[in-house]
Amino acid sequence: MLVSSYLVRTFKLSDYVSVTELFRNVLSEECYEETMSAFARQLSWDSELVLVAEDEGAIVGVIVGTIDNQDGYYYRIAVGQDHQRRGIGQNLIESLRQRFVGRKVRRIMVTIDSHNEVVIPVYEKAGYQAEDFSRFPQRLSIVNG
C-alpha cells in the first residue's frame, strides 16, 4: 500500500536492525526495553502482524499488533521524528486494521500504557474511541510471556 512515496509492508527479518534503531530513537529507554521483549515474542508467534513503513529503502515507521483471545490489539507504533505528521501512522494503523479484519477478530483494541498515552489522538483520528482503548497491556500474552 503506497502513501506518497511510503510503502507499508510486512516486517522482514532483514528489517530487524532498522526497526530496533527506530524504536530506540523514538521511545523512552524504559518503553524501548518493554517493547523489545514484546516485539521479539510477537515475531516468534506471528510476524504478519508487524508492519513497517518504508521510504526509499529506509524504515521510517513500524506498528506491532497481536491477537489475544480472538481480539486484535495495536500494541506499539513508532514513526521517525522526521517523518511524523505525514500520514504514515494513519496508514500503518489502517493496514494493520485490515489484517485484523482478514483474521476475523471479534474486536480491535488499542493497547494504552504509560508510554503511549501521547498517541491516543493518532488512534482517535483513525476512528477509535474511548471504548476501544485497553489500559491493561499486562494481560497481553506478548507482554507477560
Domain boundaries of the chain, sorted by first residue: 6-143
Q: How far apart are CA 131 and CA 109, in angstroms?
A: 8
pLDDT, tens digit, 9 for 90 and up, residues 38-68: 999 999 999 999 999 999 889 999 999 999 9
The structure's pTM equals 0.91
**Superfamily of chain region 6-143:** Gcn5-related N-acetyltransferase (GNAT) (3.40.630.30)
Asked if residue 19 lies in contact with residue 42, where contact means CB atoms within 8 angstroms, the answer is no
Q: Which amino acid is at 102?
A: G
What average pLDDT is seen over the chain? 91
Contacts of 83 (CB under 8 A, 6+ apart): 53, 55, 60, 61
Q: pLDDT higher for 66 or 84? A: 66
Cell of 87: 500520514
| pLDDT at residue 1 in the model | 45
Beta 6-10 vs 50-55: how paired, if at all?
antiparallel
Cell of 119: 498517541
Q: How far apart are CA 129 and CA 35, in angstroms?
A: 24
pLDDT, tens digit, 9 for 90 and up, residues 60-72: 999 999 999 899 9
